[in-house]
Chain A
Amino acid sequence: AQSVTQLDSQVPVFEEAPVELRCNYSSSVSVYLFWYVQYPNQGLQLLLKYLSGSTLVESINGFEAEFNKSQTSFHLRKPSVHISDTAEYFCAVSGTGGFKTIFGAGTRLFVKA
């Protein structure tokens, strides 16, 4: 069985400051890892994913995440946040041979001016 733990329920940060949203997972099998973003009253949008290969993955809007197998972590980072990054962020895991995706409880990123 797989599980995901997002270590912070809320992260307040000032605009243009760096941010890290932490995610740990547990799994007995190989996994795919994801970060999704959810804006108010909307569905989930895929932010980035790790499938295999390079452990550092990047999104088009400046976010990046690093897969650390030994620490079973997949933390999300951005060097400089914008007001528009305010949203709920979900870390998720899926077994490579399975079909369902397991989500963490979410981290609310609140960017202050």
Chain B
Amino acid sequence: DAGVTQSPTHLIKTRGQQVTLRCSPKSGHDTVSWYQQALGQGPQFIFQYYEEEERQRGNFPDRFSGHQFPNYSSELNVNALLLGDSALYLCASSSPTSGAFYNEQFFGPGTRLTVL
């Protein structure tokens, strides 16, 4: 089992550009959540996708958008990048049918985004 995978590992962009981050969930998982972890802080919930729709969203502007594909993989898009968007972006997958706990999430290694 490959677990949750994310690509790319690192990314450098300049202000105003757009970026797309990708996530493949753990095998058997159908729900994907995205988190932003700024340096020295805990992860902040961006949104969650289930059945190709955004199910819940955190306090992030509309510049942050996402997509889930029929194979349950997901993309996070960020438009008009700001310096403050520099962070580690974590993807987590889960499944209502996995184990005994609905909300248990498995995290990927993250994508480190640097905005210059």
Contact = CB atoms under 8 A, between A and B. Distances in A.
B105 interface: yes
Interface stretch (B13-21, B74-82, B106-114): B106-114
B103 A32 contact: yes
Contacts, number: 57
A98 B101 contact: no
Contacts of B106: 46
B107 A100 contact: no
Interface in A53-110: 90, 92, 94, 98-106
A7 interface: no
A104 B103 contact: no
B54 to A, nearest CB: 11
A100 B56 contact: yes
Contact of A94 (B41, B103, B107): B103
Interface magnitude class on chain A: 20 to 34
Given A99-B103, A103-B42, A43 B90 contact: yes
Contact of B104 (A49, A98, A99, A100): A49
A4 B45 CA distance: 13
A48 B22 CA distance: 27
Interface in B48-74: 48, 55-56, 58
Contact of B101 (A32, A42, A43): A32
A104 B37 CA distance: 11
Interface string A1-23: 00010000000000000000000
A15 to B, nearest CB: 25
B103 A101 contact: yes
B56 A98 contact: yes
Interface string B83-95: 0000000101000
Interface of A: 4, 32, 36, 41-46, 49, 51, 90, 92, 94, 98-106
17 contacts: A43-B90, A43-B110, A44-B107, A45-B107, A49-B104, A90-B42, A92-B42, A99-B33, A99-B48, A99-B56, A100-B45, A101-B33, A101-B45, A103-B35, A103-B42, A105-B41, A105-B42
